[in-house]
A and B are shown apart, each in its own frame.
Chain A
Amino acid sequence: MTAGEPLVNLQGLRKTYNAGLPNAEEVLHGIDLTIQPGEFTALIGPSGSGKSTLLNIIGLLESGSGGSYRLDGRDVTTFNDDERTHARHASLGFIFQFHHLLPAFTALENVMLPGLIGHQRDNRGKSNAQSAVDMRARAAELLDAVGLKEAYAKKPGELSGGMQQRVAIARALVRDPQLVLADEPTGNLDTLTSDNIFELLRRFNRESGTALLIVTHDPRLAARCDRIVELVDGRIATDRANKMGAA
């Protein structure tokens, strides 16, 4: 990473759905946002304010309609689908609210999965996918860390919602991403479970320096982040550091 360069740097980012059609709708009207490495940020705002769209664009799942986006010092604004996929694979991790695991795979396999995806082959035809043995060890280590030592071989259907979300956290971290994007990670969990999940995210943030951007409706959780960005009607309404969060 270039010294001093933010991890995420959005300038004047716009997003229009159905551009050119009568039902065209601009959902993001020029977002300027930077995220530093290791930052622990909450993204809040009412429904329909564009939080998920912004998260998807930062996560390279969608591209913006205007403005620029630099990720880790690289201009990713005009990346094509393959380039976005490679960058996503290299730098980002995801945690979703619902149905986030592959039901046909065990917990351990779900965690290993991102590491087994290889994109390039070297000149001897060997894929750059990490070896299954290495990945298994790393995945087991992470599952142990999220407290699921006993659940390696369980399928997602056999796990509770909180346990599933722990598996998802382990999966998001398995390739040591610089930024983890979490969309309502505790949205459908009870208060106690969601506190535990949040603590886990906080711990990984501290221990490995992974930056986190968490979309949440829950003001209690937002209050425990280092920084709170509030989105209203596709614009950043407030962006403030939260001294309480670090405590």
Chain B
Amino acid sequence: MTALGFELTVALRFLREGRMQTALIIGGAAIGVGVILFITAVLTGVQSDLIRRVTGAQPHVIIKPPDELVAPLLGGGADASRLPSVQARPQRLTTIDGWQAMARMAEATEGVLAVAPVASGSALAIKGDASRSVLVLGTNLERYRRVVRLDDKIKSGVLQLEPGDALIGVELAHDLGAVLGDRFRVQSAQGASALFRIRALLDLGSRDLNRRYVYTDLRAAQSLLGIPGRITSIDLSVRELMSADEVAGRLRAQSGQLIESWIQNNNFIFTAISNQDIMTLLIKVFITIVVALGIASVLVVSVVQKRKEIGILRAVGATRRQMMHVFLLQGAVVGVGGAVLGSGLGMLLVVIFSHVLRNAEGKALFSLQFDYRLIGVVVVSAAVLGLLAAVLPARNAARLDPAQAIRG
């Protein structure tokens, strides 16, 4: 007998003695843990894939000037006659007043990672006989690459936006028949036009974006769009993707501007993700309950089977508390054993299904990198769960009257 201490020694011996029962219940706990880990890995993979696609070329939060409204009639008192209907104003290209101060304010807001000024508007990209409708997006590259990770999206070329440089999507380059280093003309709706040299080809995650986006220097876009010195939006990235709405709320309270978050703009995805989260949480909770009930029922039976042994241990000097510990420890050991085996099972499932489940690009839906912190959390939780499951049987064991137990 080892120096494990009396309670743990007896607990382990009891488990070993009840071979079949122990194997079955550890197996049950392992399957539960494995499935929970597997679901978590798949879901994390699916969701981050989805979010990556959606937010690929989008800032997390955008500050825009407020919509222009029809001004109310000056001096229109109660006696003034009202028009039966108000026609909405056509929205011009509007700009943010005093954007430098606003950008500093946004940068100082809690949860904001990076801020970049953007002047954007529609234009035509022209090369030879080809012309395509595009969105010119002028910005400061050094700031903007911290908002949208353009570095990850380069297909060829270098990230560089000197005056006269442009970064365009691969599809647009194809449509224009242009290659890296070629020049093309951009003509704005306001009538101005300028020549740009293609510095890099980007893949922004969707063909649509790859056809439409033309990134240029801020100044070039401003003069092209006829808004020198002004910008049309401030783009932000946030530290926590899922907290974009809260950050947007904070910004809204501080500025009179229109604030949009990626969550608002893609509400359906966000709703789908949170519904998925709720469903899987529910599944995990039920799996956990089933595992706990399994551990509890096996231990309840074990207490009945071991009546005599419990009586003998009490007779030779074990206290009620010690008998309780013996069964609590059995619960914990079963929990930990199940969690360790289950982690292996979960990893195995992930490896197998990473060959089966693939995203639209044919890449594995989730990375094979397992979250080892998660395993740690699972093992500790399983130990606690096992302990809790063992409370009732352990109390039964502690309550057993030794004289009766020995008599049989």
Q: Does A112 contact B (CB under 8 A)?
A: yes
CA distance A100 to B315 in the complex (A): 10
Partner of A104, one of B13, B316, B407: B13
Q: Does A96 contact B (CB under 8 A)?
A: yes
Chain B contact surface mostly? helix
CA distance A21 to B391 in the complex (A): 31
| A interface residues, how many (CB within 8 angstroms) | 35
Q: Closest Cβ of chain B: how far from A122's Cβ, in Å?
A: 15
Chain A stretch 70-93: residues in CB contact (< 8 A) with chain B: 81-82, 85-86, 88-89
Q: Does A243 contact B (CB under 8 A)?
A: no
A114-B317 contact given A104-B14, A104-B16, A132-B1, CB 8 Å threshold = yes
Most chain A Cβ neighbours within 10 Å, of B3, B308, B316, B322: B316
Q: Does A188 contact B (CB under 8 A)?
A: no
| B interface residues, how many (CB within 8 angstroms) | 29
Q: Does A149 contact B (CB under 8 A)?
A: no
Q: Does A163 contact B (CB under 8 A)?
A: no
Q: Closest Cβ of chain A: how far from B7's Cβ, in Å?
A: 9
> Count of A-B contacts with CB under 8 A?
76
* Docked-complex contact A105 and B13, CB < 8 angstroms: yes
CA distance A76 to B356 in the complex (A): 71
CA distance A120 to B184 in the complex (A): 87
Q: Does B208 contact A (CB under 8 A)?
A: no
Partner of B318, one of A105, A117, A171: A117
* Docked-complex contact B319 and A116, CB < 8 angstroms: no
Q: Closest Cβ of chain B: how far from A126's Cβ, in Å?
A: 11
Q: Does A47 contact B (CB under 8 A)?
A: no
27 interchain pairs, CB-CB under 8 A: A56-B403, A61-B314, A61-B315, A61-B402, A61-B403, A62-B401, A82-B319, A85-B317, A85-B318, A85-B319, A86-B317, A94-B316, A99-B408, A100-B312, A102-B13, A102-B313, A103-B309, A104-B16, A105-B1, A105-B13, A113-B316, A114-B316, A116-B1, A117-B316, A119-B317, A132-B2, A132-B3
- Interface residues in chain A, defined as those with a beta carbon under 8 Å from any beta carbon in chain B: 52, 56, 59, 61-62, 81-82, 85-86, 88-89, 94, 96, 98-105, 109, 112-114, 116-119, 127, 129, 132, 136, 171, 175
For the complex with contacts A96-B315, A175-B317, 14 further pairs of A-B residues with Cβ separation under 8 Å are: A56-B403, A61-B402, A82-B319, A82-B320, A85-B320, A86-B319, A88-B317, A94-B316, A104-B14, A104-B16, A104-B309, A105-B1, A113-B316, A117-B317
